[in-house]
Chain A
Amino acid sequence: MKKNKIRVRKIAMVLLIIIVLSLNVNSQFLTDLWSNTKKHFKGEGLLNPKSFFGESIGYFIRMILVVKVIYGGFIPKYALSFPHNFYEAIMSNPSPYDPGIFNLLVFMIKILQPVYIMLILAAGFYVLFMQSSLSSRSKAKNLLIRLLISMLVLSLSIPIINLLLGLSEGVTESVFGLISRQEIKHTLGGAVHNLFWVYALTAVPHTDIGLPYLTLLFAMAFLPYIVLGLRYILITMFMVLFPLGVFFYTLPWLKGIGKKILEQLIVWIFLQIFIALIIVVFVGIGLTIEDHVVYNAKISLSNLRGMYDVTGMLALTPTGIDVGKYFGFWGVLLGGVIGAGVGVAPIEFLLCHFYEALPATINIVYFVLGATIYAMLAIFPLIWSHHLHDFLP
């Protein structure tokens, strides 16, 4: 028994040595395998990953940016802000009774009061004592009357401005009453979404191709607010300058400046009605252009899902192939398939909500109509303020 035990131990020792020796061989194999896999993370490898694997990682990052930053963050927060708040944004007007503006107005009126008194005194003095000719006397009298009327207007400047603003607001409100607000919201929101989908399509292969669409998306988000903000600021400014404008308008030699100030105040106040009208008429008649479009081109966005999936596949397939190559031809094939599967799965998993929101197609009519309404919102105020002048006597 004892002899047998010794024999078994000896055999075991021999086998152990064999295993250790064979491990040496295996370890060499495993080390090679690992070092080869590791190369992918260092930017070396079989399929020149510097331009391929790295690119695929770039794709991943771009997709995450498009989906998370643009679709998940920028669009709901900024780009869809105007479609959601268009009514409040367009209806908002500065109030002359706002303490800041009110104090400024009162300040301006207070400054002008002594000037008026001086001018009236001077004109009266002139009429009474320094009448050289009949025409100059009548001129002075005329000026006196104008000064008195403008003093009346000046003291009523706050109610007058309030009346103008109220009138504009009332008409704007009834213009908005012509069409359901939900429909306007839907149209404006649709414009933003359509543009985003074209951006998402073009940004996949190359961000530079998508860049103009991203810029347009930014413009869509901010341009209406910029125009409305400009209107708000200009109204505030001209409101404060209103007493000065009235004063200048009274004096014959400063009439030009006064006229400009008063005209600009009126133009920018009533722009509100026309911005509302653009949106309302646009939503009302815009879609009828579809009847005149012979060939309504479409982009099928189901391609987009394919593109994203292929991208994911390409990102991990080289690694799979490189690992699999040690097992011969079938290893390469299997490794490639596993790599592709591992690449696609997280994309499908991560982007499932994105894919659910994906419209199947975008047609040219809706796309251009969306861009047109935003372009008109920016261009019309310019046309309006450029053409409208010299209407005061």
Chain B
Amino acid sequence: MKNKTKTLVLALILVYLAGALSLDVLATKMKGAYSKAPWGEGFINVFTSEAAKFSRKGLIIWSGSLVHDFYLSIYPNMPTLITANPPMWSIKHFMGFFINLIEPFYIVAIMLTGFYIIFVSQSPVNRAKAKKWFGKLIIGLVLISISPLLVEVLYFISSNLSKQIMNLADVELALGSFKAASQGLWDMFKYLTMIHRYGGVEIFLIDTVVMMALYLIMFMRYIMAGLLAVLLPAALFFYSWDLTRNVGKMMFEQLIIWIFMQMGWAVGLVIVSVAVVTLPSVAPSMPIEFLYITSLLFMMAVPFMILGVMNWMGLSIFMFEVVQAAPLSSGAVLFGETTIERKPVVEEEVIVKPPEDY
């Protein structure tokens, strides 16, 4: 028993030692095998890390596409937004406020003038003047009372004229051109992002800012047309007094400009449609994408042209020249300095003498 136990214990120790050693070897082997396994290093590792980067880029493109598609809706909406004017029912309430505010002034003025004509005035010149004023006041009062109708007529004329202008050519061509411009920018953003995830951000910015600006300016025209229409009674009131004539004139001019701006856009759409069709036949080798982007920028420039502040363009050209000329100008400064450093030439007095042996 004693020997048996000893042998057994010895055997057990040996077995366990062997097992433990073999396990240790196995573990090391397994570790080595793992480190050499395809998902540990090499091809798969590169693949997984690249896939991870690409998923990040995909996320950028995806969230960008949500915003891009959001703004891209400007193009299908453009024809109706161009011809849109605020409905009269929404304006009348506010116009009524100004009409109610101004009418009492007119009534008081008419009463005072009548009182003056009947009782006060002595000289026929003054009476004639007062009568003239009387007529002016009555006309002003009538115009103010019918100003909602006046606005309606202006809206009607402008909206119908722009609709007629847009019927002159297939506007869809122009819209397609704008869409192609935005799509071109978007594609550029997409490919640049695929190459490097920060690569296309600026392109995305240009793409979305242009579309957002178009939306913004069209909405702004709609609201400005409403706002200045609401102010029409006040504009007429200001216009009828010599002292405030300039204010009234300015307000009335602005009303006309903002209402008829839609005609500018309508003309722009027609011109772009025509240009997109005709240019390839004139200049076949020119990349058409440039025309697309130019046409898009042209649509943004239209309101500024109408508002008569095209000077900004002159300013921007000037700024561009300054920036462009900066490297040259530093050279010019150097040149100038060297020329200034040079001493002025002292003119030698040349006396023409006759030869001695004359």
Contact = CB atoms under 8 A, between A and B. Distances in A.
Contacts of A205: 56, 59-60, 62-64
Interface string B204-240: 1100110010011001101110110011000000000
Interface in A350-372: 364, 367-369, 371-372
A285 interface: yes
Given A51-B53, A178-B93, A289-B222, A294 B243 contact: no
Contacts of B16: 14, 17-18, 21-22
Interface string A289-300: 101111111110
A376 B167 CA distance: 32
B191 to A, nearest CB: 16
Contact of B230 (A14, A208, A277): A277
A372 B219 contact: yes
Given A18-B16, A295-B73, A295-B77, A175 B52 contact: no
A100 to B, nearest CB: 32
Contact of A364 (B52, B70, B201, B224): B70
A383 B303 CA distance: 14
A289 B219 contact: yes
Nearest to A174: B97
B93 A47 contact: no
Contact of A297 (B39, B73, B94, B243): B73
Interface string B67-81: 101111100110011
A25 B22 CA distance: 10
Interface string A271-301: 0000001101110111011011111111100
A11 B197 contact: no
Interface string A184-219: 000000000000001001101110110010000000
Given A209-B204, A391-B246, A288 B66 contact: no
Interface in A6-27: 7, 10-11, 14, 17-18, 21-22, 24-25
A201 B63 contact: yes
B64 A388 contact: no
Contacts of B93: 178, 284
With most chain B CB atoms within 10 A of its CB, the pick from A209, A282, A364 is A209
Contacts of A46: 39-40, 45, 48
A285 B222 CA distance: 9
Nearest to A392: B243
B269 to A, nearest CB: 15
A307 interface: yes
A28 interface: yes
Contacts of A48: 45, 48-49, 52
Interface residues of B, number: 75
Contacts of B216: 368, 371-372, 375
A18 B69 CA distance: 69
A75 to B, nearest CB: 20
A10 B13 CA distance: 11
B87 A288 contact: yes
B311 to A, nearest CB: 12
A29 B63 CA distance: 44
B17 A201 contact: no
Contacts of B86: 285, 288-289
B52 A25 contact: no
A282 B62 CA distance: 34
B9 interface: yes
A171 B101 CA distance: 9
A293 B80 contact: yes
A183 interface: no
Nearest to B86: A285
A206 B66 contact: no
B34 interface: yes
26 contacts: A14-B12, A14-B13, A18-B20, A25-B27, A32-B31, A48-B45, A48-B48, A52-B53, A55-B52, A201-B67, A202-B64, A204-B63, A205-B59, A209-B201, A284-B94, A285-B86, A285-B223, A293-B81, A296-B73, A297-B72, A307-B59, A364-B70, A368-B215, A368-B219, A387-B250, A388-B246
Given A28-B27, A297-B69, A391-B244, 18 more contacts: A10-B5, A46-B40, A52-B52, A204-B63, A205-B63, A208-B198, A209-B64, A282-B227, A286-B219, A288-B90, A292-B222, A294-B76, A307-B59, A368-B216, A368-B219, A372-B219, A372-B223, A391-B245
Interface of B: 5, 9, 12-13, 16-17, 20, 23-24, 27-28, 31, 34, 39-40, 45, 48-49, 52-53, 55-56, 59-60, 62-64, 66-67, 69-73, 76-77, 80-81, 83-84, 86-87, 90-91, 93-94, 97, 101, 197-198, 201, 204-205, 208-209, 212, 215-216, 219-220, 222-224, 226-227, 230-231, 242-247, 250, 254
